[in-house]
Amino acid sequence: MKALSQRMLEDMRIRNLSTTTQKRYLDRVTVFANYFNKSPSLLGAEDIRIFLLYLAQEKELASSSINVTASALRFFYKVTLGRPWDIEKMQFARREKKLPVVLSQDEVAKFFKAIKNKKHKAILMTTYAAGLRISETTRLILSDIDSSRMTIRIQQGKGKKDRYVMLSEKLLIILRDYWKEYQPTYWLFYGKTKNEPLTTGSARQVCRLASFESGLKKRVTPHILRHSFATHLLEGGTDLRTIQILLGHKSPSSTAVYTHIAIQNLKATTSPLDSLPDM
């Protein structure tokens, strides 16, 4: 299994999959092999079906988790083992259609007001103000902040693509205040030393602490800040295509979900109950 894992890792690197995807795929294939206590090279389509059924019925995993496992096994068998066979017939779980939780603008303001640490506020405010994934926030370097053009450069975001997002004037003030106190030299938000970036785990922990201290009933995560950014833009009149570009979405359908969250159309729509004669 060790040799196969190394080969799979090399195959994923050749295809430029993200390090997060590489780890997830290797983990899922390892769990699959351990379930049968056999090398996955000795297993086949029926074994995969049995395993996915086990994840769905006994482990009761979410469809998204099952689909990651299915994708990992498909990559392993098609690419690493080169088996163009019944794996194509493998069923993927139907994903639940859940709308993301978002904060109101008042809730966002209350959340930031509760953060006293300048570095913590700068990290989370950058995430919201530019609609970034937390992995993108933690990988920012000083030269990515362009105050002359009022832009932030996102290097090699999801899908290995660069993009630019707006630099908020309020955020620039926060970042300058943060820089004066912490003096970053390369990474905008450094970790244990100035020579390494802050980890995403540390950034999420910062957000959990801020969420608790804010007293909000909604749980705040970095991704909820990103969802809130997109929703607030849409409610403010920004078109979906622009939001798609800012978020770095490959497909317009990924951005379209925010049309189901934005409430400006709901407020403008009268319930038929209000049109009934007096009762």
The set of catalytic residues is 133, 158, 223, 226, 249, 258
**Cα–Cα dist 98/233, whole Å:** 20
Q: How many CA atoms lie within 13 A of 128 on its CB side?
A: 25
**Cα–Cα dist 128/125, whole Å:** 5
Which structure tokens are listed for 259? 């049309």
CA 248, 212, 138, 107 torsion: positive or negative? positive
Which structure tokens are listed for 41? 């090279």
Contact 186, 195 (CB under 8 A): yes
DSSP secondary structure of 88-148: GGPPPPPPP--PPP---HHHHHHHHHT---HHHHHHHHHHHHHT--HHHHHT-BGGGEETT
**Cα–Cα dist 232/61, whole Å:** 32
SS3 letters across 59-74: CCCCHHHHHHHHHHHH
